[in-house]
Chain A
Amino acid sequence: MPDAAAVLDATGVAKRFGAVVALKNASLQVAAGQVVALMGANGAGKSTFVKILTGVLKPDAGHVKIKGRDSTVASPAGARKWGLVPVYQEPSLIPDLSVADNLRLADTAIEPFRHWVAELGLPGLAPDAMIRSLPLASLRIVDLARALALEPAVLLLDELTAALPTDLVDRVLKVVRAQADGGRSVIYVSHRFNEIAAICDRATVLRDGLTVGDVKIEPGIEERIVEMMLGGAVAAAVSAERPVKPIPSETPRLRVRSLKTGTRLTDVSFDLHQGEVLGVVALEGQGQDELFDTLAGNRKPSAGTVQVDGAPKTFAHPADAIAAGLTLVPGDRAHALLMSRSVRENIAVPLLARVRNWGAIRMRDEAAKVDKAIDTLQIDTRALGEVRRLSGGNQQKVTIARWIAKGVQTLLLFDPTRGIDIRTKRQIYALVRDLADQGAAVLFYTSELAEIRLACDRAVVIFNGRVVDVIDARDADEATLMRAAYGLTEKAPA
């Protein structure tokens, strides 16, 4: 429904990368005062579309009208002149500069930036902090605040909330909605239906590079959108709920006692049993990053003990943790992927890490393992040559595939479904359950609270660096988890 008042009106946009057709015929309209969701499965072409609209990529075909006039957006600077301001899926800040320097580089005024940072829930952010030292969630907030400070006519947000914990998501949603209510326009890319329902007016759905629908957001529209996204092959309704297993009483796979790392993780204790998926719930910066880093051998704890199958362990290097069967899927895929290498090489690294595997690679064996992992996770095989060319969701899948190929005992998953579409999310829950049923133990941090019920047996809630609650997955509705995450139900577990 291209209404007359469309601020941005793109039609017939096409783009291919070599043999990969990313966009065939995509269109999108957004009017003043609207938030339009841009939806589609992993690899559907959303990010490519956003990059074309903002002048980073050049389309092979297509027309763009801005405020009714035929327009040329040939560069990011050009886009900015038209008032089109993006926040891309990957943080676009220079790691070795401070926040203030990054702003200066992008010619952004600091005062409005400060205002927005505070508004978005990070008033304490120091402008002279190095980008490198900030956690991913803060980077996303910096990215957004920087965009808002430019007073965009059209704000384009590509999976901004994927890496944010719930409290920050709420702030972001409020701010984004307020932008639209103030007469501006927003294009909002997300895989999360609850966010779409909360702030969007319409949704444009892409499938395989084609715009297949443009619908008004109203109650009950979700299944229709899923249907459009996946093309008829309607996935089973979201009912991954399962009976919760009783926890076996033998020695736990992983026993953590009074673990302390850095300043944030002060005192965490829990047991993780074989066959169990243990959720971890926490607001931003409550020590969860440190917990996962420590268990993966990437950081040394200052106090506390870790036991694996009853034997005390200290990890001086990730290789030690891996030798003890603990493998990490880190939250930030930039820390996990070899962007310039192939999918196969990315998946195979852990198989070659030890000196005794430095010799001849058994190529057949490797190919079989890699193919199985690609298959299990349904990785888009159109751009296997370089991981950087995969869509964000497919990159995320590669980080998990690596450990499937290696075989897992204890899997530490830090927000593994970040940026992954709804079909694959369900597959990942099923995969995690399967792994657990086959005897693995899984620690599962998620920023999407609904996932606790879908994938976990129990959840520990961390607040202020300590475990404040342990909740059975059956009782883990979002309200309960939220209350616990804010430290409101503290009942110091024994």
Chain B
Amino acid sequence: MTLTDTPSSLSRFGRLMVDRPLLPLIGLLVLLIAVLAILNPGVLSMFWAGNTLKIAIPLAMLAACQTLTMLTGGIDLSVGTVATISAYLTATLAPLIGVPPAIAIALASAVVIGLVNGFGIAVCRVHPLIMTLGTALIATGFLLVYQRYVIATGVQIPDFLLWLGTGRSFGLPNSLALFIPFAVLIIWAQRRSGFGRLLYAIGANEAAARLSGVRVWQVHLTLYTLSGVIAGVTGLLYLGQIKTASLSLALPLDLPSVAAAVIGGTSIFGGRGGYGGTIVGALILTVLTTMLTLMQIPEGGRRILFGLIILSVTALFIRLTERN
């Protein structure tokens, strides 16, 4: 039997992506950094590296929400809104009632949004895409009402958030002190905890998980609440980084957070992937953004290019990894 076409290098790359997703990803990241160095000699420095990490961390944290929900075949498109609300509440309530209560209220609202998501998805069986978009819309409405009726006496950003968001120690961003334990915990949980395994199981075959005695609603409820909490904490970190409270603070991170997870090799259909790849995906996106910034394209053009790149890279990766 003769062969008409040998497997293309593209499909072989896809195979590699599925089997050992981290290697080609890291390769791609190194390649991008090399291109950046050629385009702008002298740009690479310890400072640049620290800065890239600093920008990538909130993105990577929101992408954790996408990774975990995507493992079950879901998605959480309310993360940007939750982060924004958590940041806005903290900044405006802190001068009124003090920092700890402000943060408590901020995180409580993140938990509530997560619970509502979880309830809708787990119990009412609403599709995660619709459910999370819906709660995001409603929550934004509440935020507008809040902004109107609570007269802010000013904005205060808690010192430790500033330290965490913008400070550096030994040249590295302080936010690593939050992110490293966070990443270790997520990666551990996805491989070595019962909950993590069940995310994969539900994504791979929900009916089979059910027949094995898994009450799928419990997992969904916990998962989306957890996702809300992660988004809320990310909002606090982001507040320290951006140093202003805005009504759309973290919204531009919604799409990139999904893209980071997809580029990182997590299947949008569930059952495959992991957080390790997502972190590299977030770094890749951040380096790409730097590149566009350095190319001195006006803001409008930059957004168009960034959107196009995210879409095409994501489409390419889906094509590569979802072939069978």
- The listed residue (B5, B210, B272) touching A340 by CB distance below 8 A is B272
How many angstroms from the CA of A230 to the CA of B148 in the assembled complex?
79
A319 touches B1 (CB 8 A): no
Interface presence of A64 (CB below 8 A): yes
For the complex, give the distance between the alpha carbons of A156 and B198 in Å: 38
Q: Decide: B1 and A322 in contact? CB cutoff 8 A.
A: no
Report yes or no: A74 in contact with B213, Cβ–Cβ below 8 A.
Answer: no
A353 within 8 A of B: yes
A58 at the interface (CB under 8 A from B): yes
Within 8 A of A (CB), among B1-32: 1-5, 7
Pairwise interchain contact A357-B194, C-beta atoms closer than 8 A: yes
Give chain A nearest CB distance to B21 CB in angstroms: 13
* A60 and chain B: residue at smallest CB distance: B3
| Given A340-B271, A348-B197, also A319-B214 (CB < 8 A) | yes
Known interface pairs A71-B1, A340-B271. Does A353 touch B212 (Cβ–Cβ under 8 Å)? yes
B218 contacts the other chain (Cβ, under 8 Å)? yes
Check B201–A328 contact: CB distance below 8 A.
Answer: no
A353 touches B214 (CB 8 A): yes
Q: A348-B197, A363-B192 are in contact. Are A296 and B211 (CB under 8 A)?
A: yes
Any chain A CB within 8 A of the CB of B48? Answer: no
Bound-state CA distance A71–B3 (Å) is 10
Q: Are A328 and B211 in contact (CB under 8 A)?
A: yes
Our pick among A10, A336, A350 for the contact of B213 (Cβ within 8 Å) is A350
- Residue of B3, B7, B193, B201 near A345 (CB, 8 A) is B201
Tell yes or no: B215 within 8 A of A by CB: yes
| Interface hits, B206-251 → A, CB 8 Å | 207-215, 218
How far, in angstroms, from A341 to B204 measured CA to CA in the complex? 7
User: Is A354 part of the contact surface with B, judged by Cβ < 8 Å?
Assistant: yes
Docked-complex contact A59 and B1, CB < 8 angstroms = yes
**A338 near B205: Cβ-Cβ < 8 Å:** yes
A4 on the interface (CB 8 Å rule)?
Answer: no
Chain A residues touching B, majority SS = mixed
Using CB atoms, name the residue of chain B closest to A63. B1
Most buried by B among A10, A62, A63, A357: A357
The yes or no answer to B195 lying at the interface (CB within 8 A) is yes
How far does the Cβ of A77 sit from chain B's closest Cβ, in whole Å? 12
Residues from chain B with a CB closer than 8 A to the CB of A345 are 197, 200-201
- Residue with the greatest number of chain A CB neighbours at <10 A, chosen from B193, B209, B210, B211: B211
A17 to chain B, nearest CB (A): 10
Do B213 and A319 have beta carbons less than 8 Å apart? Answer: yes
Give bound CA distance, A480 to B257, whole Å: 65
CB distance from A88 to the nearest CB of B (A): 14
How many chain A residues sit at the interface, stated as a range, is: 35 or more
- Residue in A10, A13, A296, A349 whose beta carbon sits within 8 Å of that of B214 in the complex: A349
Interface string of B163-202 (1 = CB under 8 A from A): 0000000000000000000000000000011110110110
Is the Cβ of A317 less than 8 Å from the Cβ of B215? Answer: yes
User: In the assembled complex, which residues on chain A have CB atoms less than 8 Å from the CB atom of B272?
Assistant: 340
* Residue in chain B with minimal CB distance to A352: B194
B204, A354: Cβ atoms closer than 8 Å? no
- Are B211 and A338 in contact (CB-based, < 8 A)? no
A352 touches B198 (CB 8 A): yes
Instruction: State the CA gap A334–B206 with chains docked (Å).
Output: 11
Q: How far is the CB of A246 from chain B (nearest CB, A)?
A: 34
Q: Are B193 and A349 in contact, CB atoms less than 8 angstroms apart?
A: no
Q: Which of A289-325 contact B (CB under 8 A)?
A: 296, 298, 317-319, 322-323
Task: Give which listed residue, A296, A322, A337, contacts B208 with CB less than 8 A.
Answer: A337
Q: Is the pair B208, A335 in contact by a Cβ cutoff of 8 Å?
A: yes
Question: A361 near B197 (CB under 8 angstroms)?
Answer: yes
Q: Are B201 and A349 in contact (CB under 8 A)?
A: yes
Residue A453 interfacial (CB < 8 Å): no
Partner of A73, one of B1, B7, B200, B214: B1
Complex CA–CA separation, A130 to B263 (angstroms): 35
The docked-state distance in angstroms from the alpha carbon of A298 to that of B212 is 11
Task: Kindly identify which residue among B193, B194, B201 contacts A338, using a CB–CB cutoff of 8 Å.
Answer: B201
Give chain B residues whose Cβ lies under 8 Å from the Cβ of A335. 205, 207-208, 211
Across the two chains, which residue of chain A brings its CB closest to B7? Answer: A58
Give every chain A residue within 8 A of B208 (Cβ-Cβ): 335-338, 349
Question: CA–CA, A341 to B18, complex, Å?
Answer: 12
Question: Which residues on the A side are within 8 Å of B213 (C-beta)?
Answer: 318-319, 322-323, 350, 353-354
CB <8 Å contact, A318 and B210: yes
> Residues of A contacting B3 with CB < 8 Å?
58, 72, 74
In the bound complex, how far is the Cα of B3 from the Cα of A359, in angstroms? 50
Complex Cα spacing A318 to B214, Å: 8
Whether B1 pairs with A355 at a CB distance below 8 angstroms is no
- Known contacts A74-B4, A338-B201, A345-B201; decide if A361 and B194 are in contact (CB<8 Å): yes
B192 and A360 form a contact (CB under 8 A): yes
Q: Please report the C-alpha to C-alpha distance between residue A335 and residue B210 in the assembled complex, in whole angstroms.
A: 10
Is A402's beta carbon under 8 Å from chain B?
yes
Q: Which residue of A lies closest to B219 (CB)?
A: A358
For residue B7, which residues in chain A have a CB less than 8 angstroms away from its CB?
A: 58
Q: Is the CB of B1 within 8 A of A72?
A: yes
Which A residues lie within 8 Å of B193 (CB)? 358-361
Is the Cβ of B211 less than 8 Å from the Cβ of A318?
A: yes
Q: Which residues of A contact B211 (CB under 8 A)?
A: 296, 298, 318, 328, 330, 335-336
Which residue, B194, B201, B207, has most C-beta atoms of chain A within 10 A? B194
Give the Cβ gap from A18 to chain B, nearest Cβ, in Å.
8
Known: A318-B212, A319-B213. A338 touches B207 (CB 8 A): no
Hey, what's the 0/1 contact readout for A351-394 against B, CB within 8 Å counting as 1?
11111011111010000000000000000000000000000000
Residue of A nearest to B206 (CB): A338
Complex interface: chain A residues within 8 A of B2 (CB):
70, 72, 74
A97 within 8 A of B: no
Whether A361 touches B192, Cβ cut-off 8 Å, given contacts A350-B213, A353-B213, A353-B214, is yes
Complex contacts, A353 vs chain B, CB 8 Å? 198, 209, 212-215
Contact of A339 among B205, B212, B218 (CB under 8 A): B205
Min distance, Cβ A398 to any Cβ of chain B, angstroms = 11
Knowing A318-B212, A341-B204 touch, does A358 contact B4 (C-beta < 8 A)?
no
A341 close to B271 (CB less than 8 A): yes
In the bound assembly, the distance between CA atoms of A329 and B272 in angstroms comes to 24
Counting chain A CB atoms within 10 Å of each CB, the highest count among B7, B212, B218 belongs to: B212
Given A10-B1, A360-B192: 13 more A-B contacts, CB < 8 Å: A52-B1, A317-B210, A317-B215, A319-B215, A330-B211, A349-B209, A353-B209, A353-B214, A354-B213, A358-B193, A360-B193, A361-B193, A402-B212
4 closest A-B pairs by CB: A352-B194, A338-B204, A353-B213, A358-B195
A-B contact pairs, 13 of them (CB 8 A): A58-B7, A73-B1, A319-B215, A335-B208, A337-B205, A338-B209, A338-B271, A345-B200, A349-B201, A349-B208, A355-B218, A358-B195, A363-B192
